[in-house]
């Protein structure tokens, strides 16, 4: 089980605003803040940190879990917060018979997914 992860960002403020909006439907709330870093925490104790990067950043793929309503809300919130569509909410039978997901590229190109199996 993952306790926390960090997503590095060149444009820290823009990324922090994106994650605050996109992760809210999945149960994450803004937590601890430091200059150049902010935490988004879930009730299960897991957290996502957005941290200012000093140099180039290689995009990553991160997937979060949720039910179909939360997945749709994540997708909408992510797009409204400056992300770009990388796959509307829907079944992904090529990933598994019950796989349902949505994908959004955050403003810096990370592939952020919300899914259920």
Locate the domains of the chain by residue range.
4-52+59-116
DSSP E strand stretches across 1-117: 4-9, 29-34, 37-41, 47-52, 61-65, 84-85, 90-91, 100-105, 111-116
Considering the four listed CATH numbers 3.40.50.300, 3.40.640.10, 3.10.180.10, 1.10.4010.10, the one that applies to the domain covering 4-52+59-116 is: 3.10.180.10
* pLDDT attached to residue 63: 96
pTM, entire model: 0.94
pLDDT means over runs of 10, the chain (117 residues)? 92 97 97 97 96 93 96 98 98 97 97 97
* pLDDT attached to residue 2: 82
């Amino acid at each position: 089980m993952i306790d926390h992860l960090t997503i590095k960002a060149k444009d820290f403020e823009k990324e922090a605003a994106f994650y605050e909006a996109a992760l809210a439907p999945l149960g994450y709330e803004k937590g601890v803040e430091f200059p150049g870093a902010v935490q988004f925490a879930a009730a299960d104790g897991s957290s996502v940190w957005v941290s200012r990067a000093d140099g180039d950043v290689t995009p990553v793929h991160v997937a979060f879990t949720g039910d179909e309503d939360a997945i749709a809300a994540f997708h909408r919130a992510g797009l409204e917060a400056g992300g770009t569509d990388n796959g509307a909410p829907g079944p992904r039978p090529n990933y598994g018979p019950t796989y349902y997901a949505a994908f959004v590229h955050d403003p810096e190109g990370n592939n952020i997914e919300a899914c259920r199996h």
